[in-house]
Structure 1
Amino acid sequence: MKTRRERNPATQMIIGLFVIGLGMLFLLDNLGWMDLDLRIHLIPTVLIGAGILKVMQTRTQSGIVIGGVMIAAGSLIMLKEMGLIDIGWRTLWPLLMIAAGVAVVVKSTTNRKALEQQVLDPLAKSDPESAVNYTAIMGGFKHRITTQDFRGGEITAIMGGADLDLRQSSIVGDAVLNVFVMCGGITLKVPIDWTVVFDGTPIMGAFDEKTVPPTGPGSGKRLIVRGYVIMGGMEVRN
């Protein structure tokens, strides 16, 4: 079952201003006051805006790096197409690949530090599957989680797909899952006694909830999904 919560007013204001800016560009183009070029205006603007949303949403270092890469890529493309910098695509693409590699290194370093902390602390009782941090860029992953204390985490899918099966997991109270989808898709499979709370914003995308409502008294187990679905889709079902 899906319910909705009131969203952050500050985030909603930023999204609204971003949409207003795009609308103004199209209006000026339709009035003939400017010649709108998708390469110069729309695509880089979408990259920059999506990167800002990612940086604001994320709680991980790798998420900040990914958002920064999107902002930098959009800025470089815009400056190149406007003729303000002299850089060829043969140079730009390797730079973007290097930036993507940096994001992978940062993520692996963060995961290694978390693993070392668990090894050094024999009293640590946290389940390594209790919190997820997955990134799919021009690729995909499919994973099953079986922890009995799922606490949420973060999933990023950019021109890629993610399939997370939580049907053998359980929640103690609430769990918050931050998602960011851009030109990709995420599929979540949840147990039948979970309540799904979508607290996100689809932007030219869709959130599709296909769970079966619990028939008995509520279990108190809630999965709160927060984030953005940009030109992509997200599906939750059980």
Structure 2
Amino acid sequence: MNGRFLTGTILVLLGVGFLLQQAHVWDFSDILSNCWPLILVIVGIAQLFNRNSTSLFSGFIFIVAGILFFINNLIDINLYLYFWPLILIIAGVSFFFSRGTHRAKPISDDATNSFSIFGGQNIQVTSSDYEGGQVTAIFGGAEIDLRDAVISEQGAVLELNAVFGGVKIYVPENAKVQVSGLPIFGGCENKTRKRAITDAPLLKINYAAVFGGVEIRD
């Protein structure tokens, strides 16, 4: 599932809920205080649709965390006292599944699909017909090097999602770059040089930065 679509859907539902509360249709604040863990479950289910093993692991973690917090709201157990110890345990376990970011992993695929949580990804793309993809970092980081890639003649679209994490992208010099995004207590820093290229293929970068950051370089 597209990360930007999921983020946008959640924001729209929250907006509609608070709008109906202002119209005195229901008490959305009370509903949200009890049901907000379901957001974690939804994010987890969305991750299960991705094909890589890291996404399956992170999806399982989100679902379990959402269910635990939902149970905490139903019965008299102060799970929040155990929240940070659980986070540390999850972070520790995730290191067994992450490969680290010290050495770039060369990939010749025409599409990039990367998900990291409490860890990192360092990918060097060498595709000769690059079409884009999706990169998500949650409480972690990702570095994607496209400088050796050739953008497809039809252009490429790259979706970046940074949630309490960071994503750094190196773009090729022989491509036009178009950046747009949604910063939520986060932001994007575009450090690419101005280009006078007119007939080069277009690389569209769409980002969502939620308490996170995106950096784009040449």
The one of 127, 141, 148 aligned to 1:168 = 148
1:134 to 1:69, Cα distance in 2 relative to 1, 3 A:
same
Cα displacement string for residues 13-43 of structure 1 (whole angstroms, at most 9, x for unaligned residues): 6423325657999x9xxxxx9x99xxx949x
Cα displacement string for residues 110-129 of structure 1 (whole angstroms, at most 9, x for unaligned residues): xxxxxxxxxxxxxxxxx952
How many matched pairs?
193
1:77 aligns with 2:66: no
1:208 aligns with 2:200: no
1:18 aligns with 2:14: yes
The one of 180, 184, 195 aligned to 2:165 = 184
Task: For residue 219 of structure 1, report the CA deviation from its aligned partner.
Answer: 0.5
* Structure ranking higher on relative contact order (CA contacts 8 Å, 6+ apart): 1
d(CA) in 1 for partners of 2:162, 2:40: 10
Aligned to 2:139: 159
| 2:68 match: secondary structure | helix
d(CA) in 2 for partners of 1:13, 1:68: 21
Task: For residue 154 of structure 1, report the CA deviation from its aligned partner.
Answer: 2.5
1:237 aligns with 2:214: no
Provide the aligned C-alpha RMSD in A.
4.3
1:129-140 residue pairs with structure 2 within 5 A? 129-130=108-109, 131-140=111-120
d(CA) in 1 for partners of 2:188, 2:179: 8
TM-score by length of 2: 0.63
Structure 2 gaps, min length 5? 98-105
Say whether the 8 Å CA contact 2:146–2:172 is kept in structure 1: yes
Between the aligned residues of both structures, percent identity stands at: 27
Task: For residue 149 of structure 1, report the CA deviation from its aligned partner.
Answer: 1.7
Structure 1 gaps, min length 5? 1-6, 28-32, 105-126
Aligned to 1:147: 127
d(CA) in 2 for partners of 1:49, 1:64: 17
Query: In structure 2, what residue type is equivalent to 1:232?
Result: G
Task: For residue 77 of structure 1, report the CA deviation from its aligned partner.
Answer: 1.9
1:219 aligns with 2:215: no
Query: In structure 2, what residue type is equivalent to 1:233?
Result: G
d(CA) in 1 for partners of 2:176, 2:51: 26
Query: In structure 2, what residue type is equivalent to 1:15?
Result: L
Say whether the 8 Å CA contact 2:107–2:123 is kept in structure 1: no
| 1:136 match: secondary structure | strand
